[in-house]
């Protein structure tokens, strides 16, 4: 291999190593540092059902972050703060009921610092977005 070919190969390999330095749990391994900065969001939720539920925030339209927001007991109301990357603009909430279905919300456009109110179904088995 020529010296120019070796130098080119070394530069390509070092570029791949630098590009893969992001945290895969914060929006992917090949994102820029600016996209990896996190933002905090607040959500208030009330669980009117008789099943405990775990709330997850997931990227609505692509691979990336799935963040555990919190867990609500039977007929419990709480507020949670969660962090996601600024690159994740549209979020869908996943509601995983203990001994029950899993439900998804419509995508929600988030701006850093937003405070959301999440209305959980009282009969999740009868909801269209639950399986």
Tell me the residue range of the domain where 120 lies. 37-126
Give the pLDDT confidence of 48-76 residue by residue, as tens digits. Answer: 999 999 999 998 877 767 899 999 999 99
| 12 occurs within a structural domain | no
The mean of the pLDDT values for the chain is 77
- What's residue 16's pLDDT? 41
Taking the alpha carbons at both ends of the chain, their separation in whole angstroms is 57
CATH number of the domain at 95, please.
Answer: 2.60.40.2890
Which residue in the block uniquely carries the two structure tokens 């509601």? Answer: 95
CA distance 112 to 39: 5
Contacts 24+ apart (CB under 8 A), 14-20: none
Domains of the chain: total: 1
Give the pLDDT confidence of 21-54 residue by residue, as tens digits. Answer: 445 455 555 544 555 688 889 999 999 999 999 9
């Amino acid at each position: 291999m020529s010296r120019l070919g070796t130098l080119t190969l070394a530069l390509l390999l070092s570029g791949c190593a630098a590009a893969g330095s992001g945290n895969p749990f914060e929006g992917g391994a090949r994102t820029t540092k600016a996209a990896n900065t996190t933002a905090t969001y607040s959500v208030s939720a009330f669980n009117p059902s008789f099943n405990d539920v775990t709330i997850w925030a997931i990227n609505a339209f692509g691979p990336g972050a799935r963040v555990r927001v919190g867990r609500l007991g039977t007929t419990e109301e709480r507020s949670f703060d969660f962090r996601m990357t600024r690159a994740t603009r549209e979020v869908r909430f996943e509601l995983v009921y203990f001994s029950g279905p899993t439900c998804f919300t419509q995508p929600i456009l988030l701006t850093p610092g937003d405070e959301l109110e999440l209305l959980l179904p009282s009969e999740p088995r009868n909801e269209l977005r639950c399986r």
